[in-house]
Structure 1
Amino acid sequence: MITRIDLRGRTLSRRELLDTLPRAEVDVEHAAEVVAPIVADVRKRGAAALRELAERFDGVRPEHLRVPTDAITAALEVLDPQVRAALEETIQRVRLVHAAQRPADFTVQVAPGAQVRQRWIPVRRVGLYVPGGLAVYPSSVVMNVVAAQAAGVESLAVASPPQKDRGGLPDPVVLATAALLGVDEVYAVGGAQAVAMFAYGAAGSQDVDGETLCEPVDVVTGPGNVYVAAAKRLVRGVVGIDAEAGPTEIAVLADITADANHVAADLISQAEHDPLAASVLVTSSVELAGAVEAKLVDRVDATFHRARVQTALSGTQSAIVLVDDVEAGLEVVNAYGAEHLEIQTRDAAAVAERVTSAGAIFVGPYSPVSLGDYMAGSNHVLPTGGCAHYASGLGVHSYLRAVQVVEYDADALSEVADRIVAFADAEGLPAHGEAVRARF
């Protein structure tokens, strides 16, 4: 069901490791060619294009592209009380963590009369995408919205695909979650077309209720399939984006002390997202590897999304990687840069401190990725495809800009005037120096 890669006794360079480790093959460039006409069509024709694309891709033509406020309210009124309680607990925990993420402004006195301040300013408006294909993700509503609200963003819009069996509205739990968070601007728009709508707006278009449709945003965030990732690539520069998210990934670094049943359950938990999902176990224990393989057989047969999980686990993106020891395992997981990395070893906390590349790290047997997906308080919108080598997960920082404020008085400028002139002349830009001389 899942292949083995045996790295024991081998010394590989970083390049060789990257070539050897499993990874989902996602052709964003080809997807960009597919979605480019979609993005252009939405930019040109606005609401008319959005309705036609919904009919084409979602099998329904929404009466309202912007979901009526009463539909959002009604979704909350009929929400299952247990689901509501779970959402409220998640919101509270995610708010606690994200409130602590807000960076502080600072002021530096460079010299008497000379100061540089740094202010963190939220973007004006954001577009938050919530997938709705193989599964629906009210949890992603929480992750996107809470981070933006904690950053101080004043205008938030959410988009999620229209559901054919819901009369063209997004999933009702998605709508109810928006209501819990105080968001009333929600669009029944999915895929690449939602990204295009956020980036370019739907200028001049009217929804059937006569209200102007979505205004352009400054930043687009949220997970999605390869076509959403491609659309983000196409509009990057027009707007900011969080990342080009690919299929989800879990890597588990484990030794003989790990519980094979826990490991198997965690690998399956991510595999059920998508046939392209990656589940990777890195272990120094052949005994554990064999036990996990046996548990996978039993658990896959019993799981709800059996076919999807089996496809993901047997794909080239998933594997059990055998290494000589935990030290070698650390080298492997740092090269892999997983979206989610679990540490299930002796001294797991100490091992986790030595991880340098991961979207999020889950330490010990009672911190499964599922906890982070819903209720840890951390954000579950994380870098995939190795992007954890240089990118962070979604957070308050995703919606902030650092702006430096420079304030010098006459004496402070005079003190460095000659040096500025010398610098400007050395760069062949004498007018720069003259702009300083003109003040004296």
Structure 2
Amino acid sequence: MQVSIESSTGLERQLKIGVPADRIEQEVTARLQKATKTVSIKGFRKGKVPLKVVKQHYGKGVRQEVVGEVVNSSFYEAIQQQELRPVGQPKIDQMTDKEGQDLEFMAIFEVFPEVVLKDLSKVKVARPVADVTATDIKKMIEVLRNQQASFKVSKKKAKEGDQVNIDFVGTKDGEEFAGGKAEGQDLILGSNSMIAGFESGLEGLVAGEETVLNLTFPEDYQAEDLKGAAVEFAVKVNTVSGKKMPKMDDEFFKLFGVEDGGEEKFREEVKSNMERELLNAIRTKVKNRVMNQLFELNTIELPTALVANEITQLKQQMVQQFGGGQQIDLSMLPDDMFKEKAERRAALGVIVSEVVKVEELTPDEDRVRERINEIASTYEQPKEVVDYYYSKPELLSSVEAVVLEDQVTELVLSKAKVKEEKLPYDEVIKPDPESGVEA
């Protein structure tokens, strides 16, 4: 087999590959010879069909099959010979395939970039530190009580925290706009479910009253035609319902799995859950900050195929997140909408892989099993789920990748400059500002 690099620009490679005719012809003949024992052709007994006749009937199809397989196998032989790491599948071009002549074709593809990692000691990470205080617990209990609150119709004026049932019609320049109309919609005042000024504009109204709200949509609103637009909402209040908070009694505690022990036990459970949530939030923040630092320190050229793959995955995630189905055409979602995030994800994938290679890291088997058990614990038959994960290489690999990211994070932290950052519970629980990096 002959292999030569015809062109090399950036990350693109063009390999000219030549395969001796004998390799093709021998395989075609071998398959046709095997077929003589099984094919049925009119005028011949089964198993007694001459090779020449079998070739006349099936030779073209068998040759196409063999050539396809040889193109694939010879490409992978060639990249091993040239020590290249391709991204995705190659484009096969300029193929010459004539019986009795050598097979020649051009394979065009991109390769992974060469990465020279920056010194990990240059990484600087702020590690959040926080405690769950009595005040935090009190706030959380109020949140839980609000979640279980009921509403009772009232004749009083609407105030923040009340639930109103409303009909409304929104207009822009005197014309109704898409999504600006509803009837019988429940809305909790102060929930910030609507644009600024809508909910506060209903405070002080009673059932049966109508009002007109002159408002402005925010500049970053998702609908292009409504960004920064001045609009009017004609609103009718159908009912006003006051909030009735649940009592702190055994019935309330049972809603959260506390069967006995009263309020003391309930507060202990709330604190325990908050501490667990805090620990997870700290781990997530630190991991994301480490990944962000790796991205900022290591500038690399990215294969377009790698970015395109990330864009496709992000589109699929968006469709799933919003409950979309097969009817949604991913190509209708613009690539530019996902490009920046896709580039960061692709870059981090390459950088993390390089850290794993350089530091000779392998997935910690105990951690992998622990993570799978954690996932399985949310199902009715956890053992079956565990067995399923270990029987599916692609699922197991996805868990191993997450575990490896954790190990990379720990490795970086062991060499980085880490500064503790004392913060209140609420601040730590909130996600960091959107960075486009997902760990």
Alignment TM class, shorter chain as reference: under 0.3
Q: Which of structures 1 and 2 has the larger relative contact order (alpha carbons within 8 angstroms, sep 6+)?
A: 1
Q: Which TM-score applies when normalising by structure 2?
A: 0.21
Whichever of the two has the greater Rg, that structure is 2
When you count strand as a share of all residues, which structure comes out higher? 2
Q: Which TM-score applies when normalising by structure 1?
A: 0.21
